[in-house]
Amino acid sequence: MNASDGGPGVFAWIKQLNPGDTIEIAREDGTVATFAVERGEQYSKDAFPTQAVYGNTEGPELRLITCDGYDPATGTFNDNYVVYAKLLP
Question: Over the stretch 10-24, which tens digit does the pLDDT of each residue have?
Answer: 888 999 999 999 999
- The stretch 33-42 carries a mean pLDDT of 98
Q: Does any domain span residue 1?
A: no
Q: Does any domain span residue 7?
A: no
- The stretch 29-57 carries a mean pLDDT of 96
| pTM for this entry | 0.85
Confidence band (pLDDT; 50, 70, 90) for 1?
very low
Distances (CA, A) of 41 to 5, 44, 48: 25, 10, 10
How many Å from the N-terminal Cα to the C-terminal Cα in the chain?
Answer: 38
Write out the residue range of the structural domain in which residue 35 sits.
Answer: 14-87
Pair type for strands 76-87 and 61-71? antiparallel
Q: Does any domain span residue 5?
A: no
Q: Does any domain span residue 3?
A: no
